Chain A
């Protein structure tokens, strides 16, 4: 199967190692990986801000880039949800509606793709440490991805996975929400950091680098020595 990668803009710029890890894992599993170099952003920041015309212009570029892909894999639940759930809404009533739905249908979040599509739960990874898992809201509720990353993490040699309490509360990032209402966002994040610290974990693992950027920013400010890692980084560390 030829896999087309969608590496969202902020992963491209801030967390390239997440994309690199995805490539390593997929290639180790014997798949050909394609990265269309013209790709940029899915348009979510504009969409969530209510500027659907601007979002549609960006999304049209993404449709051009990805229209001939067989499957699209992205290491972001949030951007994955943008393509699969929100593109059809964004293009409703326009000539590109069918294409938007088609692109959405062949888009998979990374862990979802490994477990549901490839049937892989063990990539042969090793990682020493105690970790807790943060469900990014878009991956969890828009895409329904919940067990897949946990199945993958349970197979990692040396990794101890502990759930936080409460387990599924938003971290407070929310894109532009984090800067439009910084104090609410921070209060939510502090609650999350408390739940994380309560597990005694040394690592927080998630499917979304955007949640992790927020959490790492808060944990660092609080002087807590807890590291945030994307699932792909954990799985690829020993490869």
Chain B
């Protein structure tokens, strides 16, 4: 990635923030989500208590991750599953490519997995000569458009029916229909054939259960079931932080994920998978592989201050409530994970220097922290990222400016002298306002500037105290 990620972000954000149509479209979609989410939250006896319990589950799992991973792998292997450990994205891609090569795979079908986006799996498989089809409708649409997902949970939320119809007409020679059911049927007809042709199905993992070595996949279209059951090989890609301890933990987290993620009580399909087809069973894959991905996760685990970022269950709730996301949209971030969680996590996965700008692109309103179902303090982590960025690479001009600020604010006499000077200079601002010479241009281009009061509070107080004080 070029060091200009910050420049690109700012340019794209500036463009999209001014795009009223885009803004209104995303607002409308997310207001609908909010209403449904609130309805589902109300069905919990105690949503706040549930958040606390969920955070504690993840806290305990991550603090003993070594033990739980061992347990998880032991159960999986005892049922004939093969477990692979991938230290980074490249290792994970190699493992999956090798599996495809060894088994003479031709067609690969995939169900939705942000972790596979994180390691850029599709590009690697295609470069290796394999055909890959996304089976989740939204993912399929963005794949046809050669775009990354716009949102962790709603990959094609930025597209209107007409745009979807357009891409179907271009890429699939489909009829020009805009009815959602007709559009779905077009994708389904294509997809059903691919399911039957595919030799390998790749899925993500929503949760891994340590006590029995099962993986849990949550979806609404039934495509993950077909992806994992029809091809002869199933490969599940899982970040090592996706673990929970027990089925009881899962019983809490599944409805929380559905509520926070999509405003649903439960998603349409929730399935547990635990290994290849056993003797006497009529369906299921012949081979079952689980690829466990680190890719920076253990480094984050070692960071006592930000470890809880690994609690994330990828529900996308923080994106949905984030006023920045709502205005700049998901593609602007240029990251796999968008919104607040992406702004906190990406510097850990891809480096602070290039990605620190995302932590600054926030008003720190705290709506993300307030909504997170596993209580990750996202807003404060943004502040920590900023501090870490300054420590690692001190910004020269900002340091200089704040050195001046610091000296002035520590010396009340200097502060008063400075503000008096500002009062004298203020009338001159009118001469340059709005021009390239305006030092406050970033503010005054879209907003009127406030004016210094003729008399400060400090000056008023001195007079006030003279008139009210008895001494």
Contact = CB atoms under 8 A, between A and B. Distances in A.
Contact of A137 (B364, B406, B442, B459): B364
Nearest to A43: B409
Interface stretch (A66-74, A96-104, A125-133, A186-194): A186-194
A174 B450 contact: no
A233 to B, nearest CB: 13
A40 B369 CA distance: 30
A22 B399 CA distance: 35
Interface in B362-406: 362-367, 369-370, 379-380, 383, 385-390, 398-399, 402-403, 405-406
Interface in B421-471: 422, 442-443, 445-453, 455-462, 464-465, 468
Secondary structure class of chain B's binding surface, majority of residues: helix
Contacts of A159: none
Contacts of B14: 183-184
Given A52-B390, A182-B442, A187 B18 contact: yes
A84 B186 CA distance: 57
A184 B446 contact: no
Contacts of B365: 137, 141, 169-170, 174
A200 to B, nearest CB: 21
Interface residues of B, number: 67
A23 interface: yes
B402 A183 contact: no
Interface residues of A, number: 68
B410 A61 contact: yes
B412 interface: yes
A9 B360 contact: no
Interface stretch (A31-39, A110-118, A148-156): A31-39
A83 to B, nearest CB: 14
Given A58-B409, A214-B447, A218-B447, A51 B402 contact: yes
A48 interface: yes
7 A-B pairs with least C-beta separation: A174-B363, A217-B447, A50-B386, A170-B365, A141-B366, A187-B17, A16-B457
Interface of A: 7, 9, 11-17, 19-20, 23, 27, 35, 37-41, 43, 45-52, 54, 57-58, 60-61, 89, 137-138, 140-142, 166, 168-170, 172-175, 177-189, 191, 213-214, 216-218, 220-221
Given A16-B456, A19-B460, A184-B361, 5 more contacts: A9-B409, A19-B457, A37-B462, A50-B390, A51-B398
